[in-house]
Amino acid sequence: MNTLTALILILLVIAIAFGAFVLVQRKRRTGGVIASKPRRPRGSS
Amino acid sequence: MSDDRGAADKQSGADDNRLLMRATELAGLPVVSIAEGEALADVKDVVYNPDKGSLLGFTLNKRGFLRGPMKAVLPMSGVVGIGRDAVMVADTGACEEQGGLAAEAQSSAGRNVVGNDVLTDAGQRLGKVTDIVVAAESGEVFGYELEGDPKLQGHHPGQRLFLPIPATLAVSGTALMVPATAEPFIRDDLSGFGAAVEEFRAQLSGSAT
């Protein structure tokens, strides 16, 4: 394995890691429409 | 005296030209402080209370493409105005890290209503929720946007429909219940939807008395 191949492999790993990070962050940022839980009056079953 | 008349005209004008928005259009909008004149955060989730038919507030993302969610939330009491391009707050004090909404948002996480089925109390499936429709000024929830059920008569299969809801509504984790009497008030566009909601609610309150 020469130096160039090693460099390409390292860059590939970095690119994949960065892509995964971006995907996870985008998923964390994605919002929705949340309905709050209904509150039951005290004493009701 | 002229001030009073001016205020009344403005009020009636606001009723006529109510800005109805989809809740998912609010997600991603910047939260802008009027005092500092800068964006504090982006809107992440829209949190609403189905029991009262109103928005409770918003969870927030830090600004920037790769930044994550914030601990702070923005209750509706801190919102000065909601427009097509931004949610306006008075100052940074409008956002809070602890309080009712923060606890509510945490305990209700995962109760995203988008994708839930809508069933009538007569047992008919009307479709799947794609959004909720809110009045921007008041934060009142007017209805749902649905992907109509193929068996629903009078509409094309899969068509986007707008369904008015009562002021209070039961919502479970997976399905939304609406009265069967709401079906005739379904509209296929947002124009005139506000009037349909008022007709529907007037009919409900009329039949209750």
Q: What is the pLDDT of residues B129-172, one digit of tens each?
A: 899 998 888 888 888 898 888 877 777 777 788 988 876 666 66
Nearest Cα neighbor of B47 from B143, B112, B98, B135 is B112
Tell me if A25 and B51 make a contact (CB, 8 A cut-off). no
Q: What is the pLDDT of residues B28-62, one digit of tens each?
A: 899 999 998 899 999 999 998 887 888 999 999 99
Residue of A nearest to B43 (CA): A31
What's the predicted TM-score (pTM) here? 0.77
B46 touches chain A (CB under 8 A): yes
Reported ipTM: 0.72
Which of A21, A28, A33, A40 should one mutate to test binding to chain B, selecting the residue with the greatest count of B CBs within 10 A?
A: A33
**Between these two residues, B11 and B126, which has the higher pLDDT value?**
B126
Rama region for A21: left / alpha / beta (φ>0; ψ in -120 to 50; rest):
alpha
Instruction: Evaluate whether B57 touches B143 at the Cβ level (below 8 Å).
Output: no
**Secondary element (H or E) of residue B41:** strand B39-49
Q: Which of residues 105-164 of B touch A (CB under 8 A)?
A: 105, 107-109, 111-114, 131-132
